Structure 1
């Protein structure tokens, strides 16, 4: 399994909020940006992505921008264009199959599309923590963006699922481009997955977080001695193998706790704890809150 596939495991849009805006220059649209992750793109025409705390970023047709919320942002034909529309205010020109449509300007020569992962848990914490707050990647000609632009206007059975899967695909395209860039700063474990010694141990932990791993067993997976694995693992990942195991279990647990049908007990068993008290203690030590409190907040979001 490659590093990006591992990072994307469990990422799945659920009733994503789609929005499109037809505009002619000058145009400027504000988005409140409360969602955990929002993809932005222009199907026709160019624009700028302007996020709080960031320099304006050019968004050309075929590019994909990602905004990690909560973070308000503006899409405009020029950074200097005064704001003309705030999508956070009530009202839109059209609402079809969960997609909001806005039209302003004389001809609407530019089509701006956004898709937001609205549901907590549909994007894992480990992915969000690996990303900057806002960035743009040049993906070149992308048929998926054009297809999304066409599908987003339809009102057919299964439309919500079609749009969700298209958004997932665009996210993969964007992240693949981003992590190949020199300015990307992925987490240490992401880079270490490609190491011939540390990689097998990491994949074993990721694949079976509920197993009672020992350093000896992980070293056997890597085909090295216990001492060699411990030293190399700590140097590349930043923490010893069993410390990482605990942190990874809590990351998995945090995602599982956000699922409506989960319980603290079932999550504890899934990540290798037979004792709910021991799990709660570990979760609070690593995440700073009790699992029950984390679950309440996640389900309310």
Structure 2
């Protein structure tokens, strides 16, 4: 179990491909703040993309993926700073149940085609992953990249009105996201989360995969060292150097992150959460949670519900 897969699956990342657009001549589109992560794929032509806070635009070409964290309004157009129209409410057509098709711009000139999608994430498991991305990221696939092949399949499916189109597009969008994240994190490895860099380390990567595969196991440093086929001292030294925490501290941090997700869901008892995370009893889990968060899990759950209710009423 690699960490990226575990984060995306446990945070129940939900994406949808919701439009296929063609832009002609002079054009510009203003996308609203909304999803935690917006994704745009340039299938043909070229464009410029920017956010209201970025200051400079990025030139994007056919085959590029644009990722935008949801904290800012963002724009795409035929030239930097061009006049834009709102994406929301723009007239669209499309097959029933399929991706909506939109047309922007007017006048002579080359055309640009692109698709748009959006992602939401439950809880905060992916918060560190998203925070490690620039506000606007342009992922340019390497030559021979599997991402290029996926985009070709995606583009073909967009034009196919066969039954089940939307379900297939949404599944392909998941593939595009994972491949784009892999390429971006690998291309800017110094800005990537520590766990991503550590995954490539033969010693620490083995220990990380073991923890994420079995978070409830009663891990010891000796157990993790055995997974990596090294001594306890080597594992502890290498793990701490790459991740900034000791191996068992990482295990506890991850268990607490999983506990928070279950507490947010609301229905799971403390005893069941304790069992799922490998604690001997509800009381040992509650004590560990209080040490980590400075409040008992029941009080944390109540505070989390109040906060969620407050955000929903805004």
- Matches of 1:3 and 1:15, distance apart in 2: 19
- Matches of 1:235 and 1:244, distance apart in 2: 13
1:57-102, Cα deviation, whole Å (9 max, x unpaired): 111011111112233211111112112x2124x4532364264433
- Matches of 1:293 and 1:2, distance apart in 2: 32
Flag the 1:123–1:239 CA change in 2: closer, same or farther, 3 A: closer
Residue correspondence of structure 1 range 1-301 to structure 2 within 5 A? 9-10=9-10, 14=14, 16-54=16-54, 55-83=56-84, 85-88=85-88, 90=89, 92-94=91-93, 96-97=96-97, 99-106=99-106, 109-120=111-122, 124-139=126-141, 142-152=148-158, 156-182=162-188, 185-255=191-261, 263=268, 265=270, 266-273=272-279, 274-275=281-282, 277-278=286-287, 280-281=289-290, 284-285=293-294, 290-291=300-301, 293-294=303-304
Runs (5+) with no aligned partner, structure 2: none
Flag the 1:277–1:135 CA change in 2: closer, same or farther, 3 A: same
Flag the 1:129–1:106 CA change in 2: closer, same or farther, 3 A: closer
8 A Cα contact 1:41 1:59, kept in partner: no
- Matches of 1:296 and 1:47, distance apart in 2: 43
Give the SS at the match of 1:106. Answer: strand
Measured on the aligned residues, the alpha-carbon RMSD in Å equals 3.5
8 A Cα contact 1:65 1:136, kept in partner: yes
Give the SS at the match of 1:67. Answer: strand
The Cα shift of 1:294 comes to 4.2
Higher CA-based Rg: 2
1:121-160, Cα deviation, whole Å (9 max, x unpaired): 6983353244232210112683433433443455554333
